[in-house]
Amino acid sequence: MQIGPFHLRNNLVLAPMAGVTDRPFRQLCRRLGAGMAVSEMTTSQPHLWDSAKTRRRRDHCGEADPISVQIAGADPAMMAAAARQNVEHGAQIIDINMGCPAKKVCNVMAGSALLRDEDLVGRILDAVVSAVEVPVTLKIRTGWDPDNRNALAIARRAEQAGIRALSVHGRTRACGFAGTAEYETIAAVKAQAGIPVIANGDISTPEQARHVLAVTGADGVMIGRAAQGRPWIFRDVEHYLRTGIHPAPFSFAQIGAVLTEHLEHLYSFYGERTGVRVARKHVGWYLKAADAPQAGVLRGRINELESGSAQLREVARHFAWLDAEAAKSDAIGEALAA
């Protein structure tokens, strides 16, 4: 898939998720198969540009090209300034957030709330595209609510403005993440579009990725929540789309190794104190994704620990036990089969 001058290794994109797609997670997903990883949304409010959170979000040290940074806001001039500022700090693609359904974002008329005002959408797109020389992409939902699906109109306006790729989540803003994603609107957008269209929503398995590509005709898929605790989903999907078969699943030992790598990067990136706290939710996601026995036990221990070294020791101990138990189970199964 091509976005501006960037030829991606595949058509699999990590979705931007606030509090999740920080630099350590983006780098891990890229290493495990994602063709592109979009940053957490960064604010267009100038008075927040020098906050510790914003400084971390524009830290792209060591990231592979292309570096895609999402910006959010409702003022065209501020959005243009934010785009320029992020390009100065290394962004190679600017992504505009018009898809976030969170109330705190929509209450200030940003994110998917913008879909209610197509004129303002157009002015923001024009301002940002004119402000930078790098490709600008856009993420939207199918509309404001099920009675007001205007993704087709927004997509036409985006292409007119010079947007280089469009990601569409198959729900309206009113739907949040409830119910199931609908792909008919994405298919209609792709049918009229002259730019790459990336389908998003409820893509949690290789089979679902193949299905969504087939029914929408989209150029790629964007995976968000399904990558939490399972960054190797991109490896799995890439292999399945290429071969039609699943790769060998990760063992508990391999999952433990990926989690350990992730935690070490979190401590380095945030500093130990903050990194230990950020790590807690990730450990829970890994355990849930792995369907690991005694997951609640490890979560409880991790949440009580205050040092990175203690968390790493506990993760190593627990995953070594999980791997040993799995080996015993396999040995019993083989003996019974014989």
Out of 3.20.20.70, 1.20.120.720, 3.40.50.2020, 3.30.70.20, select the CATH number for domain 2-243.
3.20.20.70
Q: Can you give the pLDDT at residue 42?
A: 86
Same fold, 2-243 and 252-337: no
Domains of the chain by residue range: 2-243, 252-337
Residue 338 pLDDT > 90: no
| Bridge partners of residue 222, in order along the sequence | 13, 200
Q: Which residues pair with 96 in a beta bridge?
A: 71, 138
DSSP labels, 142-179: S-SBTTB--HHHHHHHHHHHT--EEEEESS-TTTTT-S
Strand partners, 38: 68
Task: Name the catalytic one among 29, 100, 106, 175.
Answer: 100
Residue 208 DSSP class: H
Is 276 a residue whose pLDDT tops 80? Answer: yes
pLDDT in tens, 242-254: 999 999 999 999 9
Fold of 252-337: 1.10.1200
Provide the percentage of residues in the chain whose pLDDT is more than 70.
Answer: 93
| Confidence band of 56 (pLDDT split at 50, 70, 90) | confident
Residue 212, pLDDT score: 98
335 Cβ contact partners less than 8 Å away, ≥ 6 residues apart = none
Contacts 24+ apart (CB under 8 A), 292-297: 292/252, 292/322, 293/322, 293/325, 294/318, 294/321, 294/322
175 as an active site residue: the answer is: no
